[in-house]
Structure 1
């Protein structure tokens, strides 16, 4: 009987603890909104007592935040950002216009890094209050001079922060890169200054409690760091143990060298985003609906040389595409590739799989401010147009040309990918630099392009064809097929 009583008491105690922990965990509303297309996270925080809410780093298609507020009976009263973003067009101003919320933005970083539109300024040590929820501002420069971190405190339960919204300052497994201002925005000499600021910010942040949860602005797939994880959040303790960036406690020089080495080349559109997020610009309150083009309208598009981007699967495009069109397959990285390869001033016509795809494409492009869409074609197979097939080659055919110098083989993967193993004799011209290296493309012998899986090769093929290079072929199987067939790859010494 005694054992039964003890067991019952233990179970009641466990249930009580679980209930209390659940109450504590739910004392304020917290939701991470993640956009896989840009590996970008935003945050919705609401106070249950006052029903006020703040959104941090919102994306531009903002209906997701309005739906969260409506579903949970919150009123969005505040909107903020961790910094002036380079990798996506912030929806902070759109959301503020739709909700009449206060726009609270960093006033740190000096005169060159001030937002150039009306807002309420935030400084280090400021506190944003919403009922029992407080967000304390910590200035954490390095990634950018104005970067701030939000330390979230539930004042009813704790006196110290248990969550930190770190933006591009600290990621899970990595920290923000300090070289973007120099490489993407042309701020010569800024990357070493930023690296030293980042080192100081990490030391400052490291003084917080080890159990502070880190909720970052990006995950794996973002160009804002080198080794980002796809895990949603971490703790300061885990980052101190596992992140290499935290291992340079008394070695600023070593940290600067580490953080600046091996950073990927930033997409071309990053410089455009910096300006658009800093200055006044037209707002887009709703996801626009673009016209569906008729056969006659498409003919006029071709006659007027508008840019046609074919977003269908690479295999479909290979079977038949409009001559002169640029192929960028619809996927998670569509916006990044279009932002890297397409001029913002060009008017676009998009070839889509079907009517259901057009909203998805529009959302992806509006997230990087690519709004100049003239219309869609969703039934190319019914347009009764003369289409062109891609000139494909197999791995067997590629092997026939090895060591003969009768073709030019171009690997359009990144420099790091190429260095880890490539086809013997292949030259490396990465896709994002291809347009600036057309002079390196052979005019007197056939050219074969390839990548890892064929997706980038298809883009490169279409780009070269559009540039007037006709002696082009594509090895669609790429390195994946090469390794599957156990054909030798070589590495640089």
Structure 2
């Protein structure tokens, strides 16, 4: 039996490849499925099953395309009701993959259909658990997401189910089982996941707060619900796509990979309601960009911020990318359900600039310049980091508007006096700068390098969360 974790860092997502005796199974695949097909072909194996641990919220799964291209059977756990052909496993049902076995263990809690898959090798030894979002390394799946799709499934009810699943289905299993979760640190599907992406179940019983053996159900419910932040707005929409189905990834790529000259790009932008999305790095965007475009850099948590800041998942999108990054950008948009890229600027921003068309810039200052201004002037500073980051340490009197809430707090940002933007390192503040530029603000500068650069100067800071926090 061969088991491999296929990890995608920008989504903190883990899919799994299982192979035995010429048969393979894929667990929780991402939207683009060719890498899984290629992996099976490398072993001369046929993909027999696509196992889904639950209806995912943070990404659109590749189950439909993978099944269509390989003939594999899609498998969900008990209570799942997909709008397409799939096998709905019974609790403890066993599936053969080559000479090994996969046992479906119904573990409701994160969602009601959540299922953990027990891997049993060719010798009959229980090897590991593919836990989906039921059990992470250092954490468990948040039980507040399903209520955004089904109102009756309150977070308290689901947390109670999760307690029972962990105590009655997972914790009685052998300590030497390897835990293979669906996510690692950085995912919004939990609140305190480890950077490690596998561990033994025995270690998790010792160190995972949610597996404390003497914890009561009430204590568990309080522990898992305390400190949860609001989930990204696109989560319920991805759930529905995973339940109902979606367009083929090939169709999405073909539609988005339409090269447009600067003139054609401008015509399409003017004649449609398309959003111009610029995925270049912050330095490049600040130096020049097409008016009304939004910058979300491909070099960081691109898909997550697209999902946070573009409310309509069906929004038509025109792309400005680094040359050669067009397909990657379209793919990463589609991973979270943004399937309506309708073309890209051929030749990138350089071609736009070469035609003499209008462009804008973002004014930036260094951390040293900020320190000088701070020492000599009364500055209005907006910090777009998360509330928790701001609470840990921030510039005295800085106003905290987390980036994911900026659209709801534009009224608090003045247009009649200058101000300064910063985040932790410059990525988020450039997104904020592009949003403000699009909405008509032009009276601010961005701190290059963000708070990380500022702390190296002599600017006074405080660990006190002052009353200027808006969220």
Task: Name the SS for the 2:11 alignment partner.
Answer: coil
Deviation at 1:423, TM superposition (A): 0.8
Distance of aligned partners of 1:157 and 1:424 in 2 relative to their CA distance in 1, 3 Å threshold: same
Kept in 2, the 8 Å contact 1:403–1:425? The answer is no
Could you report, residue by residue, the CA deviation over 1:248-283 in whole angstroms, capped at 9, with x for unpaired residues?
533222221121122243222112101111113323
Instruction: Please identify, of 247-256 and 430-439, the stretch whose mean Cα deviation from structure 2 is larger.
Output: 247-256
1:9-24 correspondence runs (5 A): none
1:122 aligns with 2:89: yes
The yes-or-no answer on 1:458 pairing with 2:422 is no
Q: Which of 121, 145, 149 matches 2:112?
A: 145
Paired residue secondary structure (1:371) = coil
In structure 1, what is the Cα distance between the partners aligned to 2:395 and 2:90?
53
Distance in structure 1 (CA, Å) of the matches to 2:307 and 2:380: 28
For 2:165 and 2:397, the matched residues in 1 are separated by 46
Which residue in 2 is equivalent to 1:190?
154
Indicate conservation of the 8 Å contact 1:465/1:472, yes or no: no
Q: Deviations over 1:147-199 (max 9, x none)?
A: 00000112x423x52211001111112111112234x5473761111111111
- Distance in 2 of aligned mates of 1:44 and 1:431: 36
Deviations 1:222-271 (A, max 9, x none): 11112222323111111011212212533222221121122243222112
**2: CA distance, partners of 1:313 / 1:250:** 47
> Number of residue pairs matched?
456
Task: Indicate the residue corresponding to 2:76 in structure 1.
Answer: 105
The alignment partner of 1:288 has SS state of: helix
Which runs of 5 or more structure 1 residues have no equivalent in the other structure?
A: 1-27
Question: 1:268·1:340 contact (CA, 8 Å) conserved in 2?
Answer: yes
For residues 292-303 of structure 1, what are the structure 2 equivalents within 5 Å?
Answer: 292-303=259-270
Q: Which residue of 2 aligns with 1:19?
A: none
State the distance in 2 between where 1:83 and 1:222 align. 16
Equivalent of residue 29 in structure 2, options 27, 41, 58: 58
Q: Which of 259, 262, 274 is equivalent to 2:224?
A: 259
CA contact (8 A) 1:168 1:224 kept: yes
Describe how 1:61-460 pairs up with structure 2 within 5 A.
Answer: 61-108=32-79, 114-154=81-121, 156-158=122-124, 160-182=125-147, 184-185=148-149, 187=151, 190-204=154-168, 205-247=170-212, 249-285=214-250, 288-289=253-254, 290-304=257-271, 305-342=273-310, 343-354=312-323, 356-377=324-345, 378-383=347-352, 384=355, 385-396=357-368, 398-399=370-371, 407-460=379-432
Higher radius of gyration, 1 or 2: 1
Deviation of 1:367 after TM superposition, in Å, equals: 1.2
Normalised TM-score (structure 1): 0.88
Is the 1:423–1:489 Cα contact (8 Å) retained in structure 2? yes
Separation in 2 of the partners of 1:407 and 1:187? 45
Separation of aligned partners in 2, 1:345 and 1:59: 19
SS class of match (2:151): coil
Q: Distance in 1 between matches of 2:401 and 2:376?
A: 20
Q: CA deviation at 1:121?
A: 0.9
Instruction: Tell whether the 8 Å contact from 2:314 to 2:338 is kept in structure 1 after alignment.
Output: no
Q: Is the contact made by 1:203 and 1:249 (CA closer than 8 Å) also made in structure 2? A: no
Contact preservation (8 Å) 1:402, 1:424: no
Distance 1:253 1:402 in 2: 49
Kept in 2, the 8 Å contact 1:457–1:476? The answer is no
Tell me the secondary structure at the aligned position of residue 484 of structure 1. coil
User: Is contact 2:93–2:104 with CA below 8 Å preserved after alignment?
Assistant: yes
- On the 8 A contact 2:314/2:339 being kept in 1, the answer is no
